[in-house]
Amino acid sequence: MTRDLILPPSVDVDGNFALLAAPKSAITTWPPTLADLKAATTVDITYSLTTDGWTHGKAQDATTDPRFALRQVLGGFGPVTHTASLTYVYGGDEDEADPLLQEGEEYILFARYATPWEEDFAATDKWDIFDVIAGTKVRNTASGGKFTKTQALAPRRNVLEDYTLAA
């Protein structure tokens, strides 16, 4: 039997990502809808981010299940912990992320992956949706670089992954 080499196409990150943020008070239903995403209160902060400016981490606890007289310890999985943080530029007249994101305030973030940024938002798009509280802003200093801030975000409810927004 011969096997065919299947090499799936890949998508560049550059130009194929969107991150939008809205104050939680502007989103009246959970999960949010496509109308919430397109509302004037939702801000596109994609290009405020530095090249490493969006971090969404996920880790799952492991559990053990030792048994009497069994030499091998069995295992399983426990809760999942999501983390998120932003690094964005600031100091210009047209800043978007810095004035929007305030410590202690809650926001809804919408992340769309592997789709060209300039494509209109469609009912078939897949989104990761985060209800987060913003942590403190930390200024970063880099000689010869741009002024940036890093801000941790803590999820306040289950993160919706690969979610299609209702129209």
Could you read off the pLDDT of 96-153 as tens digits, one per residue?
A: 999 999 999 999 999 999 999 999 999 999 999 999 999 999 999 877 789 999 999 9
Write down the pTM of the prediction: 0.90
In angstroms, what CA-CA distances link 73 with 68, 69, 78? 10, 10, 16
Q: In angstroms, rounded to a whole number, what is the distance separating the alpha carbons of residues 72 and 88?
A: 48
Residue 1 has pLDDT above 80, yes or no: no
